[in-house]
Amino acid sequence: MNFIDLKRQYQEYKTEIDKRIADVIDNTRFIMGKELKDLEAELAAYAGAKHGIGVASGTDALLVPLAAYGVGPGDEVITTPFTFIATVEVISFLGATPVFVDIDSDDYNIDISKIESKITKKTKGIIPVSLYGQTPDLDKISAIGKKHGIFVLEDGAQSFGAVYKGRKSCGLTDVAGTSFYPSKPLGCYGDGGMIFTSDDALAEKMRMIMNHGSSQNYVHKYVGINARMDTLQAAVLLVKFAHFEKECDTRMRLGSRYTELLSGGKVITPKVSSTTDRHVYAQYSIRVKNRDALKEALAKESIPTAVHYPKPIHLQEAYQSLGHKTGDFPVSEQVSNEIISLPMHPFLTDGEQKLVAEKILGAVS
């Protein structure tokens, strides 16, 4: 059994993917090719944003918006410590300070009730993370952003395809970024990401920043970087995107089935928020008291698992300078100790799921 089965997916779409890749190699438009333009238009329309800007990774999809907002030394940006490091490192990389807010114990996303007490004169924006494949209540967070005149950047790296109150993740805030890392719900064959916004001026600036601050060869309006997405990745994504809606529905069905199979109170299964119409389960993660023992027991049965994430960011060596200690963000710390992610992908069979659930229930007391 695989944790995420990219081989099965490739076998399903092989003819189309091979053809699309061969077309790019044939036309040699490896940078800024037509496939990228097509992908940006299709994905922006899907997310409900005016602009989609392909970039080289999900990390760049957060870094470029922050740079466009002019985030830098002396500024603060609010986010959670229970996320992948990329959410936080982009803030620090620009010389600004990440300010943490603990997570909600139900959906593991930012605890919205604690955001406003962390807003200061230095706060430039908020990065809510849509962890595991469902968004927090982004309307509420956007209202806080508006009230204080600060931006909201959704880290939708794990939630592309998720539906919040009838609307899609990545089309709900001032700006959003997603990741096409191969194991993400919509994954390419390398690194890739996309930024979404409906703000024309911001889009224009971000499009330049991700291409050396330029919209015309050798004319540089901003200090930028090379954060362009390869045309080959866009070609792969165009094929996968044609199957994506069906895959997201399957993910939601498989997630609900895991929850049913694991019901009974021995483990804590993920809660789907009342505002979530579709959870895409980038990770299907449960909580157990004896997480490491369960991980070992499942490994003995050749069932792969992963831990997202074993140590919250405020306790990482890289963030020692912020001066945090154990106990500062208790919910993040507790969830980090108890969380474990199960095999999850749209090609998981009913039999495999049943086996995983049986072994878990057999292993935990």
Ligand X SMILES: Cc1ncc(COP(=O)(O)O)c(C=O)c1O
Site stretch for ligand X (CB under 6 A), options 1-9, 55-63, 326-334, 345-353: 55-63
Residue 48's Cβ-count burial label (10 Å; 0-12, 13-18, 19+) is: middle
Residue 83 near ligand X by CB under 6 A: yes
Report the alpha-carbon distance of residue 192 to residue 228 in Å, rounded: 9
Cβ proximity to ligand X: between 115 and 188 the closer is 188
Helix (H, G, I), strand (E, B) or coil at 359: helix
For residue 335, the minimal CB distance to ligand X (Å) is 14
Residue 336 near ligand X by CB under 6 A: no
Strands (DSSP E) found in the chain: 51-55, 76-79, 97-100, 123-126, 151-155, 163-164, 167-168, 175-179, 193-197, 214-216, 219-220, 276-278, 284-287, 339-342
Cβ proximity to ligand X: between 59 and 336 the closer is 59
Helix (H, G, I), strand (E, B) or coil at 54: strand
Q: Which of 52, 54, 58, 255 binds ligand X (CB under 6 A)?
A: 58
For residue 236, the minimal CB distance to ligand X (Å) is 14
Identify any residues that bridge with 146 across adjacent strands, giving them in sequence order. Answer: none
Cβ proximity to ligand X: between 44 and 282 the closer is 282
Q: How far is CA 130 from the centre of its chain?
A: 6
Tokens of 88: 């936080």
Count of chain residues binding ligand X (CB under 6 A): 15
Residue 107 near ligand X by CB under 6 A: no
For ligand X, the binding residues in 193-232 under the rule CB under 6 A are 193
In single-letter form, the type of residue at position 224 comes to G
Q: Which of 67, 157, 252, 363 binds ligand X (CB under 6 A)?
A: 157
Site stretch for ligand X (CB under 6 A), options 81-89, 97-105, 262-270, 290-298: 81-89
Residue 86 near ligand X by CB under 6 A: yes
- Phi/psi region, residue 170 (left: phi>0; alpha: psi -120 to 50; beta: rest), is left
Closest CA to 286 of 248, 257, 259, 254: 259
Site stretch for ligand X (CB under 6 A), options 51-59, 70-78, 199-207, 286-294: 51-59
Cβ proximity to ligand X: between 69 and 181 the closer is 181
Q: Which of 9, 109, 169, 179 binds ligand X (CB under 6 A)?
A: 179
Cβ proximity to ligand X: between 236 and 360 the closer is 236
Site stretch for ligand X (CB under 6 A), options 155-163, 229-237, 242-250, 287-295: 155-163
Closest CA to 96 of 71, 115, 63, 121: 71
